[in-house]
C-alpha cells in the first residue's frame, strides 16, 4: 500500500507537468475556466481511448489556447495526442464501461473518471458550474488549485522548512560533537534521522507545489534549493554511518523504507532504531554506537566519494580515522601525501568547530 501511495505521488507530479502554468495546455484550460463553458479533454490517443470514441470530427491540428477554447464550446469531448501537442478529435462522444465504479455525480465528471480508469490516460474535466479543473489518470483524482493559493501554501511551507532545518542543524551539531568525543547513543542518531526525514518530507511537498506552479514557481524553487544546500543527503549519510551491516539492506533501501512510513510511525524513535538494525526496545536507545565516518568525511571540501569509501573500508570507524597518521592515510588508495594532510587538517577543524558550536 505504501509503494502504491509513492507511485501515486509520482503519477501526480508527471501529470501536473503537462498542465502547469507556462504550458499551452494550461493557458487553454484557463480560457475555458474563465468563460465557464466547461470541457472534457482526453490527453492520449491509445487504442483503448480511440475504441471509446464515437462520432465527432477528426481535425488533427496543433494545440493552441484559442483552438482549445473554441472547440470546447461544443458538447462532446476533445481528444489530444499523448504529448498534448495536437488536437485529434473534437465534439467526440465517449462510451466508457458503465459498470466501472465512480464517486462523481455530474455526467461530465463521471465519464471522465470512467475513461481514466478504463484507459489509464489523463482525462481533464472542467466544471461549468463549480469553476474547477479536475484531473483523472487511472485511479488518481486531483483538483488543480489557483496559482495564488498555491503560492501562499508554498511560502508557508518554505517558512516551516526553514524552522525545521534550524532544528535539524542543531541536532547535527550536537551529533558531530558527540561523534568526535565517541559518546554517541542511538537516541542521538535516531533523533537526527527523524528530523532529517521531516525536513525531506516538507521539501518534497514544496517540490510538488513547484511542479504545479510551473513558470510561476521559479522563485519558490530557488528558495528551496538554497534552504536544502548541505542537508539534502544528510539522512542517507546517517544511515550509512549507523546501520547494522548484518541485518539491514543497502543504505538507500533503509532510507526508502523510512520514507514510506506514516507521520505517526516516524515519531517512534524505537522504530527508527529497528529500521537501522538495532532492535526497537527503548533500552536500546541508550546503547553507545560508533559512526563509520561517512557524514563527517563528506564535510571535508573536495574529497571524492570513492576516496571516502576507501577510507572507511580501511579504518572502519571515525575514531580510528581520527587517530590515523598522515602516513597511514597516505597508504589508502586514492590518497597522496597532500590529500592526507588535507584530511587530517580538515578533521581537526571540523572537531574544533563542532565542539565550539555545541556550546554556543
Kindly give the confidence (pLDDT) of every residue in the chain, 360 residues in length, as a single tens digit, with 9 standing for 90 and above.
Answer: 455 556 677 888 888 999 999 999 999 999 999 888 889 999 998 999 999 999 889 998 999 999 999 999 888 999 999 999 999 999 999 999 999 999 888 889 999 999 999 999 999 999 878 788 999 999 999 999 889 999 999 999 999 999 999 999 999 999 999 999 999 999 999 999 999 999 999 999 999 999 999 999 999 999 999 999 989 999 999 999 999 998 889 999 999 999 999 989 999 999 999 999 987 666 778 889 999 999 999 999 999 999 999 999 999 999 999 999 999 999 999 898 999 999 999 999 999 998 888 766
User: What is the distance between the alpha carbons of residues 148 and 209, in angstroms, rounded to a whole number?
Assistant: 12
Q: Which domains does the chain have, with CATH numbers?
A: 2-144 (3.40.1700.10), 146-291 (1.20.1260.110), 292-360 (1.10.150.20)
Q: Taking the model in full, what pTM does it have?
A: 0.86
Instruction: Please state at what angle helix 2-18 crosses helix 186-213, rounded to 10 degrees.
Output: 30
Please state, in angstroms and as integers, the Cα–Cα distance from residue 268 to each residue in 3, 187, 216, 258, following that order. Answer: 21, 11, 38, 11
Amino acid at each position: 500500500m505504501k509503494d502504491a501511495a509513492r507511485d501515486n505521488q509520482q503519477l501526480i507530479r508527471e501529470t501536473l507537468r503537462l498542465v502547469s502554468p507556462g504550458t499551452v495546455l494550461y493557458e487553454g484550460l484557463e480560457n475555458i475556466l474563465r468563460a465557464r463553458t466547461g470541457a472534457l479533454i482526453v490527453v492520449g490517443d491509445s487504442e483503448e481511448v480511440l475504441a471509446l470514441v464515437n462520432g465527432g470530427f477528426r481535425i488533427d491540428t496543433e494545440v493552441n489556447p484559442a483552438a482549445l477554447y473554441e472547440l470546447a464550446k461544443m458538447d462532446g469531448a476533445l481528444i489530444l495526442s499523448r504529448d498534448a501537442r495536437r488536437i485529434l478529435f473534437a465534439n467526440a462522444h465517449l462510451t466508457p464501461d458503465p459498470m466501472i465504479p465512480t464517486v462523481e455525480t455530474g455526467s461530465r465528471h463521471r465519464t471522465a473518471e470512467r475513461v481514466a480508469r478504463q484507459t489509464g490516460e489523463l482525462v481533464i474535466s472542467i466544471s461549468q458550474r463549480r469553476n474547477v479543473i479536475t484531473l483523472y489518470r487511472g485511479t488518481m483524482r486531483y483538483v488543480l488549485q489557483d496559482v495564488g493559493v498555491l503560492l501562499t501554501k508554498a511560502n508557508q511551507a518554505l517558512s516551516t522548512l526553514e524552522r525545521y532545518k534550524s532544528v535539524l542543524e542543531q541536532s547535527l551539531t550536537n551529533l558531530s560533537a558527540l561523534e568526535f568525543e565517541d559518546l554517541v547513543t542511538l537516541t542521538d542518531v535516531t533523533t537526527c534521522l527523524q528530523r532529517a526525514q521531516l525536513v525531506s518530507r516538507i521539501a518534497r511537498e514544496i517540490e510538488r507545489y513547484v511542479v504545479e506552479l510551473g513558470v510561476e514557481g521559479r522563485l519558490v524553487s530557488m528558495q528551496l534549493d538554497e534552504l536544502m544546500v548541505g542537508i539534502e543527503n544528510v539522512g542517507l549519510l546517517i544511515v550509512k554511518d549507523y546501520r547494522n551491516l548484518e541485518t539491514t539492506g543497502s543504505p538507500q533501501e533503509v532510507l526508502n523504507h523510512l520514507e514510506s512510513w506514516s507521520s505517526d510511525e516516524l515519531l517512534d524513535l524505537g522504530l527508527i532504531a529497528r529500521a537501522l538494525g538495532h532492535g526497537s526496545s527503548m533500552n536500546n536507545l541508550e546503547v553507545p554506537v560508533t559512526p563509520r565516518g561517512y557524514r563527517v568525511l563528506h564535510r571535508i571540501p573536495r574529497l571524492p566519494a570513492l576516496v571516502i569509501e576507501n577510507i572507511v573500508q580501511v579504518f572502519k570507524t571515525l575514531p580510528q580515522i581520527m587517530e590515523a597518521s598522515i602516513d597511514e592515510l597516505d597508504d589508502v588508495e586514492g590518497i597522496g601525501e597532500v590529500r592526507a594532510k588535507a584530511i587530517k587538517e580538515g578533521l581537526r577543524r571540523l572537531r574544533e568547530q563542532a565542539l565550539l558550536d555545541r556550546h554556543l
